[in-house]
Amino acid sequence: RKEVEQDPGPFNVPEGATVAFNCTYSNSASQSFFWYRQDCRKEPKLLMSVYSSGNEDGRFTAQLNRASQYISLLIRDSKLSDSATYLCVVRGYGQNFVFGPGTRLSVLP
């Protein structure tokens, strides 16, 4: 089993749609959780950290369920500019970052 798994994608959605990405991780000792966004042929950039209490940043909401070892990202009112690959990233205490394979999103006009 891979350490971090994500929905295989791609997701093709119309503008204005709500889309949800799922991620599971295998290391129960993981302590830090992130969603990164990667545009085509560019470097990954931090979208948001994920906390146990859940957190929201504008149209983006991230949730963490430690018991189920599950992370989610919800994008509301999708924009064309949201088209990218979304990477789930997990880090254990004192350990390195482990990246999921990513889920590609295409928002269609």
Determine contact, residues 9/104, Cβ cutoff 8 Å: yes
Alpha-carbon dihedral 46, 51, 57, 59, rounded to 10 degrees: 100
Q: Which is nearer to another protein, 90 or 107 (CB)?
A: 90
Contact between 66 and another protein by CB under 8 A: the answer reads no
Among positions 78-107, residues that touch another protein (CB under 8 A) are: 87, 89, 93, 96-97, 99-102
Q: How far is the CB of 28 from another protein (least distance, A)?
A: 17
Taking residues 2 to 31 in sequence order and writing x for each that binds another protein by CB under 8 A, - otherwise, the string is -----------------------------x
Rounded Cα distance, 21 and 102, in Å: 10
